[in-house]
Amino acid sequence: MLLTAIRIGAENKPSIYQISGQIIDKEDKQTVPYATITLQNDSAKVVKRLSTDANGSFLVSMNEKRKYTVIVSAMGFNEFRLPLEIKELKTNLGKLEVEKGIAMKEVTVTGQKPLVKVEVDKITYSVESDPDAQTNNGLEMLRKVPLLAVDGDDNVTLNGQSNFKVLVNGKSSSMMSTNFKEVIKSFPANTIKDIEVITNPSSKYEAEGVGGIINIITVKKSLSGYNGSISSGVDSYGGYNGSAYLTTKINKFEFFRAQYDQGHRGHNQPFFQI
C-alpha cells in the first residue's frame, strides 16, 4: 500500500519544464548581460519575465507544455522573437543572436519598461514589470535580482557578502536592519516598485563598513486605505514561525506594522514614515 501511494503521488506530481539559453551579439559574438527575457503564451499573455545573468544566460521554469513566444529585448539591440513549443522537460535554445539597433536622428518609442537597468554605480530591477510580483513576496523577488543571492535559510548576500545596508525609499529603516529577511518576506511584492543594488556607495557609508546598499523603492499611491498579509509555518522538530504585515495610508502619512514570532521568541517593532 505504501509503494502504491508513493507511485500515485509521483504520477500526480506536476511536471516542471525548463527553458534555457544564452543571448549573444550577432556581430561580435559577445554575450549580452542583463537582457530581458519575456515569455508569452499563444494568447499573447505575458506569463514569465526575467533577466539574463552577467554571462547572458537564462533559465526559466514553466508548468505547462504548450506553445510560447520567447521575446528578447536589450538596450541598443533590436527586439528578438522566437516561437517555441515545449515538448521535452528540458529545452536548450542554445545561443540566441540579437542584432544591434540602427542609430536614428529622432524616434518615438512606445514599449515595455526594461526589467533590469544597468548604470555606472547601481543596478535597478523593476519589480512592477515582473508578472510574478502579483503572487510572490519581496524575498522571492530578491532571488531574481542580479548580484543578490538567497540561500536555503533565506539569508541574503550582495556579491557574496552579508555586509550591506538596507534602505527603504532612500531612507534608513531600523526594522529592516534588525531582521531584514523576515521583514522582506512579509512584504507583498506588488507593493514594491523597484529594487536598487548600489555597488559603489558614497563616502558617507564608508565609516559603517558597507560593501553595498539594497534600496527598496515602494509603490506610492495617492489613495488612502489598508493593505496587509499574514503567514505561518511549522516544522517536524516542534518549531513554528509566523509573520504579519500591515500598512495603513491616511492622506500623506503611511504607517507600517510588522510582527514576527519564531518558536517562543517574538519581535514586534512599529514604525512610520511620511
Distance CA 112, CA 37 (A): 12
Q: What is the pLDDT of residue 68?
A: 92
Starting at the earlier edge strand, list the strands of the sheet with 90-98: 57-62, 17-25, 90-98
Q: What is the pLDDT of residue 264?
A: 44
Instruction: Tell me phi and psi for residue 71, to 5 degrees.
Output: -115, 125
Q: What is the pLDDT of residue 223?
A: 41
Q: Which residues pair with 213 in a beta bridge?
A: 165, 198
Q: What is the pLDDT of residue 103?
A: 57
Domain ranges of the chain: 1-100, 225-273
Q: What is the pLDDT of residue 109?
A: 55
Q: Which helix (H) or strand (E) holds 49?
A: strand 46-51
**Could you state, in chain order, the average pLDDT of each consecutive group of 10 residues for the chain (274 residues)?**
55 77 94 92 87 91 88 91 90 93 60 77 89 88 89 87 87 80 86 89 62 86 55 69 62 55 47 40
The three cell numbers of residue 218 are 515602494
CATH of 1-100, one of 2.70.98.10, 3.40.50.720, 1.10.357.10, 2.60.40.10: 2.60.40.10
Q: What is the pLDDT of residue 75?
A: 85
The pTM is what?
0.58
Q: Let me know: does 188 contact 227? Beta carbons within 8 Å.
A: yes
Q: What is the pLDDT of residue 229?
A: 62
